[in-house]
Amino acid sequence: MRILVVSATAAEIAPFVARLRAVASRDRLSRYAHAGRDVDVLVTGVGMVPTASWCARVLAERQYDLALNVGVCGSFDPAIEPGQVVHVVSDRLSEVGAEDDETFLTPPELKLAADDEFPFRGGRIVNAAPPANGALRALRAVNGITVNTVHGNARSIAAIVARFAPDVESMEGAAFMYTCLMAGIPFAQVRAVSNIVEKRNRAAWKLDEAIARLADSVLAVVEQA
**Domains of the chain in sequence order:** 2-223 (3.40.50.1580)
Cα separation, 139 vs 84, in Å, equals 9
**pLDDT, tens digit, for every residue of 11-33?**
999 999 999 999 998 889 999 99
Is the pTM higher than 0.85? The answer reads yes
pLDDT at 26: 84
How far, in Å, CA of 164 to CA of 215, rounded?
Answer: 29
Neighbour count for residue 19 (Cβ, 10 Å): 14
Q: Read out DSSP for 43-90? A: E--SSHHHHHHHHHHHHHHS--SEEEEEEEEEESSTTS-TT-EEEEEE
Per-residue pLDDT at 103 exceeds 90:
no
